[in-house]
Amino acid sequence: MRLDTARLLETIQQFHQSDAIATLRVRIAAMQQQLRNGTHTLHAVDPSAAVVTFHRDYLIGELEQIAAAQTLERARYYLDRLARSVAEERTSAVNDINLNRWKEYEDIYTDSLWIEERRDKTGVHRAGYWGNFIPQIPYQMMRRYTKKGDWVLDAFAGAGTTLIEAQRLGRNSLGVELQPEVADHARHLIAAEPNAHNVVSAVVTGDSTGTDYRELLQRYGREAVQLVMLHPPYFDIIKFSDDARDLSNAASVAAFLALMGQVIDRVAPVLDRGRYLVLVIGDKYAQGEWIPLGFRTMDVVLQRGFLLKSIIVKNFEETTGKRNQKELWKYRALVGGFYIFKHEYIFVFKKR
Ligand SMILES: C[S@@+](CC[C@H](N)C(=O)[O-])C[C@H]1O[C@@H](n2cnc3c(N)ncnc32)[C@H](O)[C@@H]1O
């Protein structure tokens, strides 16, 4: 509903002036009824007047809470809060979430366990690139940790999921991808996605362990980014290319971690202080041993002085191949005394 801000505030003020909770409840019940059947007079009609948008059911729910208050004082406290949510926007330094209307952000996750039944396949998003992450990951991270117009750096761009999502959300983004043909594929997808906010979404071909990120940013007149997304190969679980610089071709876990250290050393200086770095990675299994690649890579970031803000555990979609072999995996797990991977991690760090 598009409502006239001044009229809504006036109505809240009239509610405030009720001299008894019973009177207030009657007034609120009448207003709820009018909101339900559309006969209220709060519609925004004057094009020059300030407008506030509300989901009808949300506003009715807020009124419900006010009417349920035990005392008039409590009801007035809720009315003041509602008035503030109409009149003022309160955002933090790192995102555009209006904290005065926090209850309405139903699509923003705040729990550390994510069970995603399906990937977002809207627009140009495709599951096609083996090893790409679900768009919900960059979507959630950018909603929580960036503002419109901010710059996002993805040092392992792959098929460009972060950049596609950034373009949709009005964030500028730069991606680095080692394989020229994969970078081209990403550029192709990004070009097919509408760019309503007219942002930069650029993929460069390069080795993220040796990229000069300052120079890259300078090409766009920037000195820093406000979010870094890192979704590296999970060491050798998927071999992405034959290129020796590819992290999936690292000689050992130790070599992989050393390369990740180089990436962090290069990206950290171009990330603004107080802003976030997100690492998406899973564990691996080799010669009868679970290798906690996620936590070991987390340590690499922590050793560089970052503050750990969250460890999110996300379910891992089975690949088609694995699904066909499900029975066999169960047998192997029973024989081998291990559990089959069904999760990966999203580590959220803040630069001090
Ligand atoms: C897990 S995938 C990232 C997928 C991406 N998040 C997406 O949704 O498409 C890792 C990517 O890192 C790339 N890569 C591996 N080593 C690299 C390096 N040294 N520099 C840049 N990219 C690299 C691989 O080619 C692969 O595309």
Nearest-atom index, ligand 1, CA of 159: 9
pLDDT tens-digit map of 123-155: 777 766 778 999 999 999 999 999 999 999 999
237 CA → ligand 1 middle, Å: 13
The answer to whether residues 74 and 153 belong to one domain is no
Task: Give whole-number Cα distances, 161 to 123, 213, 304, in Å.
Answer: 11, 20, 27
Pair 21, 140 in one domain: no
Asked whether residue 219 falls in the same domain as residue 254, the answer is yes
Q: What is the pLDDT of residue 292?
A: 98
Question: pLDDT at position 123, please?
Answer: 79
Does residue 295 sit within a domain? yes
Q: Does any domain span residue 46?
A: yes
In a domain, 222, yes or no: yes
pLDDT for position 117? 83
105 assigned to some structural domain = no
Q: How far is the CA of 156 from the centre of ligand 1 (A)?
A: 4
Question: What's residue 72's pLDDT?
Answer: 97
Same-domain pairing of 78 and 204: no
Pocket flag, ligand 1, residue 158 (CB < 6 Å): yes
Whether 276 and 322 map to the same domain: the answer is yes
**Pair 205, 118 in one domain:** yes
Kindly report the average pLDDT of the chain as a whole number.
95
**What torsion do the CA atoms of 182, 187, 192, 195 make, to the nearest 10 degrees?**
140
Ligand 1 atom at shortest distance from the alpha carbon of 243: 16
Residue 96 in domain: no
| Residues 133, 61 share a domain | no
The pLDDT value recorded for residue 273 is: 98
51 lies in the same domain as 177? no
SS3 state at 293? helix
Residue 322 inside a domain? The answer is: yes
> Which run of H or of E encompasses 285?
strand 284-286
Virtual torsion, Cα 77, 78, 83, 89, nearest 10 deg: 100
Distance 211 CA to ligand 1 centre (A): 14
Same domain membership, residue 62 and residue 203: no
Give the pLDDT of residue 317.
Answer: 66
> Band of the pLDDT at 122, cuts 50, 70, 90?
confident
Residue 44 has pLDDT above 80, yes or no: yes
| pLDDT classification of 119: cutoffs 50, 70, 90 | confident
Q: How far is the CA of 343 from the centre of ligand 1 (A)?
A: 19
d(CA 286, CA 43): 63
Task: Give the contacts of 262 (CB within 8 A, at least 6 positions apart).
Answer: 209, 210
The confidence band for 95, taking pLDDT boundaries of 50, 70 and 90, is: very high
Q: Does any domain span residue 98?
A: no
Count of structural domains, the chain: 2
Q: What does the pLDDT look like over 272-322, one tens digit per residue?
A: 999 999 999 999 999 999 999 999 999 999 999 999 999 999 998 665 555
pLDDT of residue 28: 97
CATH of the domain at 239: 3.40.50.150
Ligand 1, pocket-test mutation among 124, 178, 264, most atoms within 8 A of CB = 178
**What percentage of the chain exceeds 90 in pLDDT?**
91
Ligand 1 center–CA 329 separation, angstroms: 27
Assess whether 161 and 69 both reside in one domain: no
pLDDT of residue 131: 85
Q: What pLDDT is attached to residue 326?
A: 78
Q: Are 148 and 69 contained in the same domain? A: no
pLDDT of residue 310: 98
- 37 and 178: one domain? no
**pLDDT over threshold 90, residue 118:** no
Q: Which amino acid is at 106?
A: E
Cβ of 186 below 6 Å from ligand 1: no
Which one of 41, 71, 88 terminates a domain? 88
- Res. 177: pLDDT tops 80: yes
The pLDDT value recorded for residue 130 is: 76
For the Cβ of 135 lying below 6 angstroms from any atom of ligand 1, the answer is: no
Question: Which residues constitute the domain of residue 66?
Answer: 2-88
pLDDT, residue 320, reads 55
Q: Is the CB of 133 under 6 A from ligand 1?
A: yes
207 lines ligand 1 (CB under 6 A): yes
For residue 183, being part of any structural domain is answered with yes
Cα(185) to ligand 1 centroid in Å equals 13
Assess contact for 264 and 322: CB atoms under 8 A: no
* Span 248-263, average pLDDT: 98
